[in-house]
Amino acid sequence: MNRPRVLVTGATGFVGGAVLPLLRSAGAHVRVLAHRRSVAPGSYAEVVDGDLTDPATLRGVCRDVDTVLHLASYIGKEEERCVAVNVEGTRHLVEEAERAGVAKFVQLSTAAVYGNGPLRELREGGVEPRPVSPTSRSRLRGEQFVLRAGGAVLRPYLVYGTGDRWVLPALLRVVRALRSGLPERGAAMLSLTEVGDLAASLAHMAVSTPPRRAAGVFHACPSRPVSLRELVVGAHRHLGFTLVAGDQSFESARGELVRAGCDAHLLDLFGIDHWFVATRLATVVGRAPETGLSTGLAAHAAWYREQLPLL
């Protein structure tokens, strides 16, 4: 049996770092698209240089590849950069994959494309996406090129674990600011995905899922959501976060965040229901993320305790 040949973008990123060892363990021939960050060639089968924003540099990168695993994205508030990387960059890569006859294209996106919510027990196709940030708007637009080409798009919500520079650092800012209590008793239900679990789903889809089944949108979240209060208690127990006591209204909490100099949008992320159902991923791929919060936080506690003071 021939080894599956996989081109990976975003290999040096948060999720990419967890995916690559799994691809190697599965016997895949891994070709890494490198841009700016140095990549040690000995760590992978192949390293090729290329820039998603410059289609001329992508010529030939998909040659002799079975699957493109597109993990690269720009996360930030610069609209122009978001469009250049997440929209046009994805378009350029899809076009190059089609030119090379790649059988399967798998993209990592985000459930943030659905907007602020509330979203409860949401299945794929349950509502129209209504993204509110430059990042999520551009990632939704980029998805369309993948879907039109018959590829797969995986949408986790909040992803945590070793390498996380966004989710739990943001939660830390929130709990430090909310001195009067969590909004609405911390009852918001959230889908949190441990990075290793997400990586396993991506690797399985890239290597083992037939192309005809690796198509469409897939939520990539555990079956059981956690409440904001459960998340705060878990972060306190495993990572030493402040344990927020008391209760206040959503608007009161928003005002407290703003007075503390925090982005009020963080309350939309953590304080409103964002609960997604991943039945389709479990059915089609044969697995969906299932690591519980306590287990996941414990597994990554040492990294967080070392890194959070530096973030």
High-pLDDT (> 90) share of the chain, % = 89
Strand pairing of 46-49 and 104-108? unpaired
Average pLDDT over residues 290-295: 96
**Contact assessment for residue 226 and residue 163, using Cβ atoms and an 8 Å cutoff:** no
Of 161, 168, 179, which Cα lies nearest the Cα of 302?
161
293 conformational bin, left if phi > 0, alpha if psi -120 to 50, beta if neither:
alpha
- What is the spatial distance between Cα 71 and Cα 109, in angstroms, rounded to a whole number? 8
Domain spans of the chain, in order of start:
5-310
Q: In this structure, what token pair is assigned to residue 305?
A: 């305790």
Is the pLDDT confidence value at 235 over 90? Answer: yes
pLDDT score recorded for residue 168: 97
pLDDT score recorded for residue 2: 79
CATH number of 5-310: 3.40.50.720
**Contact assessment for residue 163 and residue 199, using Cβ atoms and an 8 Å cutoff:** no
Q: What is this structure's pTM?
A: 0.94
Model confidence over 25-50: pLDDT tens digits? Answer: 999 999 999 976 555 555 557 999 99
High-pLDDT (> 70) share of the chain, % = 96
Model confidence over 151-191: pLDDT tens digits? Answer: 999 999 999 999 999 999 999 999 999 999 999 999 999 99
pLDDT score recorded for residue 285: 86
> If you search the block for the tokens 């509110």, which residue do you land on?
132
Of 84, 98, 99, which Cα lies nearest the Cα of 142?
84
The three-point CA angle 95-206-61 to 5° equals 35
User: What distance lies between CA 310 and its chain's CA centroid?
Assistant: 22
If residue 274 lies in a helix (H) or strand (E), which one and from where to where?
strand 274-276
Phi and psi at 191, nearest 5°, equal -95, 115
Of 72, 69, 213, 218, which Cα lies nearest the Cα of 156?
218
Of 166, 179, 170, 183, which Cα lies nearest the Cα of 260?
179
